[in-house]
Chain A
Amino acid sequence: MSNFRFVIGRFLGAIPTLLILICLAFLLVKSAPGGPFDFERSLPEEVEANLRAAYNLDDPVYLQLFKYIGDLLQGDFGPSFQYRDYTVTELIATGFPVSLRLGTAAIFLALIFGSIIGSIAALNQNSKLDYGVMFFGMIGISIPNFVMAPLLVLFFSIGLKALPAGGYNGGDFYHMILPVVSLALPQMAYIARLTRGSMIEVLSSNFVRTAKAQGLPTRSILLKHVLKPTFLPVVSYLGPATAAIITGSVVVEQIFGLPGLGRYFVQGALNRDYTLVMGVVVFYGCLIILFNLVVDTLYGFIDPRIKQNR
């Protein structure tokens, strides 16, 4: 029962969060210079007036905000200013699956490989293998993905002609490899470092040393006593890792020409597509809140002490 209340409590607490997010984003976007209807050929006044009326731009700001929230509750994110024949809801619906695919694959890759690599390093501490892994870790963290991605393309697509240089092509495997790897690399490196540090810590803890001294088989030590505390910090890093993946996706989608939300967002911001920008911010905000909820719950299950403290 306490589980249930915990989840509900967090859920309800998320609502004011969301509202504040929406208001903040709305005000920010509205106060920006440059309107969506600035075109090279100046509009005749009549037409401009019609445009503004069609998009409700002449109402006072708070009215626009209320209308926006009202529409949101019905799942209507409004019309896009840039793509005049499409609604933001449609755009998010087509863009999100792309980013989702990219992001989930990247997170899994980072998590799995990062943990494995970090564990190997920890189990072979101070060996050449360990240094090699740590070096790789450092490279991953220090080379920005807008350098890594073109390098990968140069090598694999143009040099070896083995992989496509860009495009989504419905998200097929070959087109996703380079973008996912570019996106995952920094996080993989980070998780490797984290796992290694955490595992070394745990391996040298009194608890484990006692178990070893008592002659327990290595395998059961690993499984029963080492895994959980090692991966606790990794689980709690999932939140920031996801945030990093979301922001990294903006670069990766741009470089590889993937039609995801990150790309929509940047184009929207540069083209003053208010509704699209707002839509993406609100959408991601919801996702992050949801994700944090899931992580918190997971964490609560893994480490019962935490739940008590709340």
Chain B
Amino acid sequence: MKKRTAIIMTSLLLFGCGPKVSNETPIKELLTIGGPSGNELAQEQVFRKNNGSDPGTLDPHRAEGVPASNVLRDLYEGLVSEAANGDYIPGVAESWSISEDGKTYRFKIREEAVWSNGDKVVAEDFVFSLRRSVDPKTLSNYSSMLYPIKNARDVVLGKLPTDKLSVSAESENTLLIELEEPTPYFISLLTHSTTYPVHPPSVREHGSSFTRPENMISNGAFTLKDWRIQDYILLERNEKYWDNSSTTLSQVYYYPLDNPDASLRRYRANELDFTDTTPSEQLPWIKKNLKEELKITPYFGSYYYGFNNTKPPFKDNPELRMALSLAVNRTIITDIVLGAGQIPAFTFVPPVKQYQGKEPGWAKLTQDEREGLARELYAQAGYSGSNPLSIEIIYNTSENHKRVALAVTSMWKKVLGVETKLRNQEWKVFLETRRLKEETEIFRGGWIGDYDDPYTFSELLHSENEMNHSGYASKEYDALLRSASLKPAGKERTNDLLQAEQIMLNDMPVIPLYFYVSQHLIKPWVFGLEGNVMDHHYSKYVKILKAETAVSE
């Protein structure tokens, strides 16, 4: 019975898998996109995206996370917007001027800007919204992003009332914002949802329910038609949007599928036009079978393992930290374990604009040489084969994080003989464990820049930053950061930040592993999206081209 069973089962399973590894299909299907001219549009202008998860809320001032930002980007428009390639372009503000000292910004709100119910968008709306955003009663968890604005910090901490925020309407269409320091990345901040305007009468009338589909009045290219939890979010074209004539789509669907395998299946069945990511174990298959549709772009993010520098064994032990960092073969992680084109990182801040981190000397050695050096340092730190280091890596539950952790564990074992335990926790628990710094020895860290300036990464390791989970505290580092924050954009500021990074890399409080890439599968009939380093995509640029399949021999 067993043998028969086994044979039948095996053949059932294999048969059920269909033509697997070969990409020769008996009937060749030709897909023509855009008709004969290549530009013809499909009749139905509907764009279906997988968003990875449901946003917690669609209140721009309380939202957090990439999924929420993606939807909000289509619903609302801030003072500044972005082109498809990520360049900053005027949004609701048609122009702006910056004072000489870099601390005063004046925005001219465009005349044609209106809300989806026809009300004009005025400077007062932004005053209302920014005050709301920093108001501690709004319960926003991103209000610290607005600290560059004068008095924002004190308002958030409850020390000043909201009307002391240095934002005012000089006239119906002129908005004045004053900053604490010249903040070169302030324009970039203004594309973040915490700075979006909300419709004051709606908020006054509905309170926090103004985000419901039946209540929401927004000023972006789309309005919220429906939100069915764990099912989909449906956006519809906003005919009143000032640039509506450039919008082609009539509807956008956002799906909250958090299982990348299920999402891949739906994509292959043509139920999705766009996936938010791809399962990394399937990448070899995807590269072979969906090569044209896989879009990989450098993404402004850094993946690292942090040491808990406040406790042994890593406290005051730079040799050990360096040894562990050297023993990791980053190329194997990026090319084999993950395989999407991630970039091995020897510095912490990903390259952006004028900033290019200077790689430390050991980056130029071969991996073998690095491993040799690692062994020396390991021995110097007092460990050996008979006295191996025993540590634990904590990461948040995810298939990818698990694979990286397994890879690093195996490398440390092979090269140094380190015994590593792995522990994973869900996101919320992980955040708490990491923050408390009591149980952690090595923890996984990943940071996506909030704005396209190196400072968003540099400040992570500032000794007073609550997100400095490694406990790194270096006076020189802090001083250089302070010095940089007082300068306007330019070579001097960049040099300060570069220097700070050098100091940090010598201390190795974290192990930089790789720089992110964004990986999307996009159907060939989706036109208008471009890869950009912040991975911000606006549906207003998207057109769905006509797609016809012709069967040929």
Contacts and interface: CB of A to CB of B under 8 A. Distances in A.
Interface of A: 33-47, 50-51, 54, 82-86, 91, 94-95, 135, 138-139, 150-151, 153-155, 157-159, 161, 164-168, 254-259, 263-264, 267, 270-272
A84 B57 contact: yes
B288 to A, nearest CB: 16
Contacts of B59: 84-85
B29 to A, nearest CB: 11
Contacts of B136: 44, 46-47, 50
B265 A54 contact: no
Contacts of A35: 428, 432
Contacts of A167: 231-232, 255, 266, 271
A141 to B, nearest CB: 13
B156 A95 contact: no
Given A47-B136, A50-B137, A257-B256, 19 more contacts: A34-B426, A38-B435, A39-B431, A40-B65, A41-B467, A44-B143, A83-B56, A83-B229, A157-B265, A164-B269, A167-B255, A254-B262, A255-B262, A257-B262, A257-B266, A259-B230, A264-B229, A267-B230, A270-B428
Nearest to A82: B56
Chain A CB count within 10 A is highest, among B140, B141, B158, B255, for B141
B17 A154 contact: yes
Contact of A257 (B5, B142, B255): B255
A94 B228 contact: yes
A33 B432 CA distance: 9
B324 to A, nearest CB: 25
A158 B139 contact: no
B170 interface: no
Nearest to A156: B269
Contacts of A267: 54, 230
Contact of A165 (B5, B17, B269, B427): B269
Contacts of B467: 40-42
A44 B144 contact: yes
Nearest to B53: A267
A167 B255 CA distance: 9
B428 A154 contact: no
A34 B141 contact: no
A43 B467 CA distance: 10
Interface string B153-168: 0001110000000000
A164 B266 CA distance: 8
B6 interface: no
29 contacts: A42-B466, A43-B141, A44-B156, A51-B139, A54-B139, A84-B59, A84-B62, A94-B228, A135-B5, A139-B9, A150-B265, A151-B16, A151-B17, A153-B269, A155-B18, A158-B265, A158-B269, A159-B18, A166-B269, A167-B266, A255-B259, A256-B262, A257-B230, A257-B256, A257-B257, A257-B262, A258-B231, A270-B397, A271-B427
Contacts of A135: 5, 8
B427 A166 contact: no
A151 B230 contact: no
Contacts of B62: 84
Contact of A254 (B259, B266, B428): B259
Interface of B: 5, 8-9, 13, 16-18, 54, 56-59, 62, 64-65, 136-137, 139-144, 156-158, 208-209, 211-212, 228-232, 255-257, 259, 261-262, 265-266, 268-269, 271, 397, 425-432, 435, 466-467
Contacts of B426: 34, 270-271
A172 B140 CA distance: 39
Contacts of A257: 230-231, 255-257, 259, 262, 266
Given A36-B428, A150-B261, A47 B58 contact: no
Contacts of A264: 229-230
A272 B428 contact: yes
Contact of A85 (B137, B209, B429, B431): B209
A45 B143 CA distance: 12
Nearest 3 Cβ contacts at the A-B interface = A34-B429, A165-B269, A259-B230
Given A50-B137, A257-B255, A271 B268 contact: no
Contacts of B397: 270
B265 A46 contact: no
A102 B435 CA distance: 41
A30 to B, nearest CB: 15
Given A34-B426, A157-B269, A256-B262, A42 B230 contact: no
Contacts of B256: 257
A38 B261 CA distance: 28
A153 B141 contact: no
A139 B4 CA distance: 13
A38 B431 contact: yes
A222 B321 CA distance: 79
A80 to B, nearest CB: 9
Contacts of A37: 141
A166 B266 contact: yes
Chain B CB count within 10 A is highest, among A47, A54, A168, for A47
Contacts of A86: 229
B265 A85 contact: no
Contacts of A154: 16-18, 265
Contact of B230 (A38, A95, A155, A270): A95
Given A164-B271, A166-B271, A46 B158 contact: yes
Nearest to A43: B141
Nearest to B55: A83
